[in-house]
Amino acid sequence: MKIAEARKLFPVFKNRTYLFSGGIAPANTRAAEAMQDHLDALTYNPSDYYHHSVHTATEVKHLFARLMHCDHDEIAITENTSSAINIATDLLRAKPGDNVVVDDFTYPSSIYPWLLPSHHGIEVRPVKQRDGFIHMQDIEKAIDDRTIALSVCHVSPFEGFRHDIAKLAEIAHACDAVLIIDGAQGAGAENLNLHESGVDFYGCCAMKWLLGAPGIGFLYVARKHLDKIPSRAGYVSGGFDVNNFKLVSNASRFELGKPSLMSLAYTKPGLEILLDLGMENVHKHILNLSGNIISGLKAHNIKVVTPEDPNHRMGIVAVHEHDADKLFETLHAYKIDLYAKSKTLPYYKGGFIQIAPHIYNNLEDVNRLIEALDAYHAQK
């Protein structure tokens, strides 16, 4: 399938300009059909469906592993990105006096687990942004021999800054720390090889760039960490012999029970679409659209937060906007969808909007958005 053909699979574009992939992907027709098949099976033949449901989870793991260039037995299915990152955090046995390095752009879900009583005495050490960038040399300075983890976002949701994961892995591993990546805004957008990246733990959700459903997430655990012991266990992680408990040898040891089968049914077609298109093509298309958005906005003197350098961005384009809520309402009325937040972040003077194009978007969407933003600002 060609990139241009993918748009036909998303009915939302019959009456809207959808640019909110950083929040939730619109349903595609194949997912809708899969959901109907799921309901039919559950309604008319639930016994057979139950006994074959394990295959759906296995198939989805295989698809995700192919997409991310890793092995399916290194993948655990979770509820969302936050649960995946919490599992990774839980697997590290930190001691008081140890530290975890994060940065200004790290999402709360990768910081909060370290602030719980179970990690009392662990220092969370932030690396400050400078001029909209997180600089590698600043991360190197923050890490020392008591650092157990470097935990950051692949692509930051509020700034659109993209990290070079391979370089982060080199820095972390040089100090015997592990690299934990929140990939919610990267998986399904960047053509990433998890094995080659050197990342230790990579968590993400299905509902954004992976074109899947809410309630499904993935945790990649590099093979060298598959012997780590979780603090929770269920029948998926240990089997049914209570007299001979033994954790399974793959990433399923970090799962508890059956995942949301309906959400898996919805998620599978999205992964298949991305694989059909080819992640190299997906990556190129998204990067081209985000680049056109940035250049178009700057041509209209609109303040862009996201770096213009393609090595430091992906699909998220963030824009300074003091009255973001009003702008959101205005654009929504014109059937243009994006994300807006008026609350001030520590390093922002005012709010912002987030624009997030994906495979279903084209240059017509970009031009319509820029024209609408230009008209909005002209009226102020």
Distance of CA 152 to the CA centre of its chain: 12
The pLDDT, as a whole number, for residue 200 is 98
Residue 324 pLDDT grade (very low, low, confident, very high; cuts 50, 70, 90): confident
Cα distance between residue 258 and residue 53, in whole Å: 9
The pLDDT, as a whole number, for residue 344 is 59
pTM of the model: 0.95
Cα distance between residue 25 and residue 214, in whole Å: 10
Q: Radius of gyration (Cα) for the chain, nearest Å?
A: 21
Tell me the DSSP string of 295-333. Answer: HHHHHTT--B-S-SSGGG--S-EEEE-TTHHHHHHHHHH
Residue 94 pLDDT grade (very low, low, confident, very high; cuts 50, 70, 90): confident
The pLDDT, as a whole number, for residue 227 is 97
Pick the CATH number of 34-275 from 3.40.640.10, 2.60.40.10, 3.30.559.10, 3.30.360.10: 3.40.640.10
Domain edges within the chain: 3-28+278-379, 34-275
Residue type at 75 in one-letter notation: I
What does pLDDT average to over the chain?
Answer: 94
Query: Which of 155-169, 186-200, 343-357 is the least confident region?
Result: 343-357
What is the torsion angle, in degrees rounded to the nearest 10, for the CA atoms of residue 225, residue 228, residue 234 and residue 240? Answer: 90
Residue pLDDT, tens place only, 330-363: 999 999 999 998 765 665 566 889 999 999 999 9
* Backbone phi, psi, residue 150, to 5°: -110, 120
- Cβ-Cβ contacts under 8 Å for 46 (sequence gap 6 or more): none
CATH 3.90.1150.10 fits 3-28+278-379, yes or no: yes
Q: Strand 352-355's sheet: what is its strand order? A: 317-320, 352-355, 339-341
